[in-house]
Amino acid sequence: MTATQAPGKAVGAPISRVEGGLKVRGAATYAYEHRLHEPVYLYPLQSTIANGRVTKIDASRAEAEPGVVVVLTHENAPKLASTDDKELAILQSGDIGFRGQFIGAVIADTFETARYAASLVEIEYDENEPDADFRADRDDLYTPEQLNAGFETDTSVGDADGAFDSAAHKLAATYTTPREHNNPMEPHATIAVWDEDELTLYESTQGVFWTQKTLAPLFGLDAGKVHVISPHVGGGFGSKGLPHANVVLAAMGAMLVPERPVKFALTRHMMFTVAGYRTPTIQRVRLAADENGKLSAVSNDVVEQTSKIKEFAEQTATSARMMYDSPNIKTTHRLAALDVSVPSWLRAPGEAPGIFALECAMDELAIECGLDPVEFRIMNEPENDPESGLPFSSRGLVECLREGAERFGWNGRHPTPRSERDGRWLVGSGVASSVYPVYSMGGNAATVRANSDGKYEVEIGAADIGTGTWTVLGQIAADELGVPFEDVEMKIGDTTLPNASGAGGSSGITSWGSTVVEAVRSLREKIEADHGGNIPEEGVEATAKMPKNPHSGDFAMYAFGAHFVEARVDEDTGEVRVPRMTSVFAAGNIMNAKTARSQFMGGMVMGLSAALHEESVLDTRFGHVVNHDLAEYHIPTNADVGEMDVSWIEEDDPYVNPMGSKGIGEIGIVGSAAAVANAVYHATGVRVRELPITPDKLIS
């Protein structure tokens, strides 16, 4: 919709993305595409061993290649001011912690020359046997101090073990999810320019200030000396959140060729090692219920992996702590530290694999209890948050389940597996719940400027990674200002703008939006107090910080959802098709009906992808991802996606933030893989507990 919106009516409207005209033509400028004078190209050297050290680098043949500017190795690399983060502190010695780690780079005047010359560098290693074997029965698993985002490692309420032992109905099963890679379509890319004592980074990032605050101390700079520019980002899904070593390498390269822009984009292959990934998980889930199907015990004991050089501990089981009503709930997380690259965020880190396991187990226990899976969930709905005891600010799960069941045509479903077929296709349906916390991140500020011509500018260093930020923040500002949407111009994606948190944890709109609302309110007061209610000729602006949410601490705040999936399985080949998915979400006030639907759908398809396609295969002998490209690491194509029925319930939540919105970037992926797995079980009678559900697992 491009028609003019009436003032005050922008929020919620299906407004098309404001940057759409640029994006469809390919004219939106992504990191690698900024036109700078006389750039040079960086191609990295990566270790071909997983554990050991570099003993010798002979770059003479590369240096002799016409067009090569410099070869960067640990011997001539700038010394970093801080080396605490071993993922980022590259080239400070010859030590190697995982296969594919950066050990140098060639900088040349063309990409072709840099790539070719990199192949001419001869490297010798002192190699140790790598340990990359991820198993739950390792005797060196350890307990991390805390989990990602500061969650507690282990929790226990009541006596889950005792309750399990004495229960009428129980289920104990192990679910596994593989290592998965974010694979945004735009590879991680940087153009780094070092000028005097200032570093400029044109960067593909989920947060310009996250990049600034990470890079500045590495190079011993004040944060203000690192300028990060990132107006458009070709997807991130978590992998462009915490900066990875590619940015450091580009900056180091730029230091060696002052004033010349150094261009560095990861190849798709490299994205399988240095750009973060979702840890594989092994989850031992136990659920117990009384004779009526009321849950008496919930537990999830998780084993996951991290890198020996840096810890990342995913909060896999946190959602089991709050999802259903049970007097006894226990969760644990143990880590295997291996000679592998560093895991990181991937869309809904924690919830995505954790809810897969929990929601498959709920399906299994419902069947064991002889209950409909939808009703079983509804009867175990908690009054208050089982973890904190706090009331929920809003909890629309039951409504989503009921509404979804209606839309999907769940009622009347034959509970017995293998009860429907269509020729050689076995047909089944599955359900799963979804949840994602409402996060907000601190440190935000925004400036709103009113011009005398009635136009407004809003500045905040936020990010749009396909999330609709350019559009949605403008909608929020317009309504708060009471002006037409078209009268507001956004500025985001640059560290010269007011400080902002990044796009992560589905926190963007809560954090940035609350701040924008506050800035508009300050502007209003200022216009009233200083200018008698009129915008002066020279314009007027106001800056405000994100207000503290007065309700935080009083409520448990989450978005919920329910997925319903139809699966068809070829009885002979085991091929699985998903012709339709119906998902209903309870995510507060929806800011933009058009972009929100897309975001939910993108998450749902990524869950479908986790269910059927994605799996990174590690050769444990070499610590090497074997299927490191898009031909062998499968993600859905157009033909893999059928009808997507996406909707949401009306939810009025006055506590989460001034807009009443909840983050929606991640909730779509949570639970959707479980719904697919449950549908495949219903179709075939085969319970696959190891993702992905490939044909071999169905026909053996």
**Residues forming the active site:** 666
CB of 579 to other proteins, least distance (A): 11
528's contact among ligand FES, other proteins, none, with CB below 5 to 8 A by partner kind, is none
64 contacts ligand FES (rule: CB under 6 A)? no
Q: What residue is closest to ligand FES based on CB?
A: 185
Decide whether 466 or 493 has the Cβ nearer to ligand FES: 466
Q: Residue 250 — φ and ψ, nearest 5°?
A: -65, -40
| Region 456-475 residues binding ligand FES, contact defined as CB under 6 A | 466
HEC string of 606-630?
Answer: HHHHHHHCCCCCEECCCCEECCCCC
For the chain, what's the residue count?
700
* Phi, psi angles (nearest 5°) of residue 450: -105, 130
3-state SS class at 594: helix
Going by C-alpha positions, the residue among 299, 298, 302, 300 that lies closest to residue 334 is 302
Q: Give me the least distance between CB of 10 and other proteins, in Å please.
A: 16
Question: Is 28 within 8 Å of 231 (Cβ atoms)?
Answer: yes
Does 236 interact with ligand FES (rule: CB under 6 A)?
no
Task: Pick one of other proteins, ligand FES, none as the site partner of residue 3 (Cβ within 5 to 8 A by kind).
Answer: none
Query: Of these, 235, 238, 353, 373, which contacts ligand FES (CB under 6 A)?
Result: 235
Question: Shortest Cβ distance from residue 605 to other proteins (Å)?
Answer: 3
Confirm or reject binding of residue 603 to ligand FES (CB under 6 A): no
Minimum CB distance to other proteins smaller for 75 or for 629: 629
What lies within 8 Å, CB to CB, of 248 at 6+ separation is: 80, 88, 89, 90, 215, 218
505 vs 602, beta carbon nearer ligand FES: 602
Residue 28 contacts which entry, other proteins, ligand FES, none (Cβ below 5-8 A, type-dependent)? other proteins
Cα 503 to Cα 233: distance, rounded to the nearest angstrom = 11
Backbone angles phi, psi at 94, to 5 degrees: -90, 5
Collapsing DSSP states into helix, strand and coil, what is residue 479? helix
Could you tell me the smallest distance in angstroms from the CB atom of residue 388 to ligand FES?
36
Interaction partner, residue 112 (other proteins, ligand FES, none; CB < 5-8 Å by kind): other proteins
64, interface contact from ligand FES, other proteins, none, CB < 5-8 Å by kind:
none
Binding mask 550-589 for ligand FES (x = CB under 6 A): ----------------------------------------
Residues contacting 26, CB < 8 A, separation 6+: none
Q: How far is the CB of 31 from other proteins (least distance, A)?
A: 11
Residue numbers of the site for other proteins (CB under 8 A)? 16-17, 19-30, 32-33, 35, 110-113, 116, 183-187, 232-235, 237, 265, 267-268, 465-468, 594-595, 597-599, 601-602, 604-606, 609, 629-631, 635-641, 643-644
Closest to other proteins by CB, 103 or 604 = 604
Give whichever of 26 and 533 is closer to other proteins, judged by the CB atom.
Answer: 26
Least distance from other proteins to the Cβ atom of residue 25, Å: 5
Is residue 27 near ligand FES by the rule CB under 6 A? no
185 binds ligand FES (CB under 6 A): yes
Amino acid at 51: N
36 binding partner (options other proteins, ligand FES, none; Cβ < 5 to 8 Å by kind): none
674 vs 331: CA distance, rounded Å: 19
* Binding partner selected for residue 577 from other proteins, ligand FES, none, CB under the kind-specific 5 to 8 Å limit: none
Query: CB under 8 Å to 353, separation ≥6 — which residues?
Result: 177, 278, 281, 283, 314, 316
- Minimal distance in Å, beta carbon 41 to ligand FES? 17
| Shortest CB 505 distance to ligand FES, Å | 20
Least distance from other proteins to the Cβ atom of residue 4, Å: 16
Q: Give whichever of 185 and 617 is closer to ligand FES, judged by the CB atom.
A: 185
Residue 287 to residue 569: CA distance in whole angstroms: 28
665 counts as binding ligand FES under rule CB under 6 A: no
Q: How far apart are the C-alpha atoms of 658 and 661, rounded to whole Å?
A: 8
DSSP assignments along 359-426, one per residue: HHHHHHHHHHHT--HHHHHHHT--SS-TTT-PPBS---HHHHHHHHHHHHT-TT---STT--EETTEE
- 593 scored as a contact of ligand FES (CB under 6 A): no
From the list ligand FES, other proteins, none, pick the one residue 30 interacts with, judged by a Cβ distance below 5 to 8 Å according to partner type. other proteins
Burial class of residue 440 in the structure, from the number of CB atoms within 10 Å of its CB (0-12 exposed, 13-18 middle, 19+ buried): buried
* 41 Cβ neighbours under 8 A, 6+ residues apart: 107, 108, 109, 110, 111, 113, 114, 262, 263, 264
**Which of 396/602 has CB closer to ligand FES?**
602
- The Cα 585–Cα 667 span in angstroms is 8
| Residue 27 interacts with, from other proteins, ligand FES, none (CB under 5-8 Å by kind) | other proteins
Q: Identify which of residues 365 and 596 has a Cβ nearer to ligand FES in the complex.
A: 596
With a CB cutoff of 8 Å and minimum separation 6, the contacts of 419 are none
Say how far apart CA 485 and CA 474 lie, in whole Å. 7
Task: Report how far residue 54's alpha carbon sits from residue 91's, in angstroms, rounded to the nearest whole number.
Answer: 10
- Give residues in contact with ligand FES (CB under 6 A): 185, 235, 466
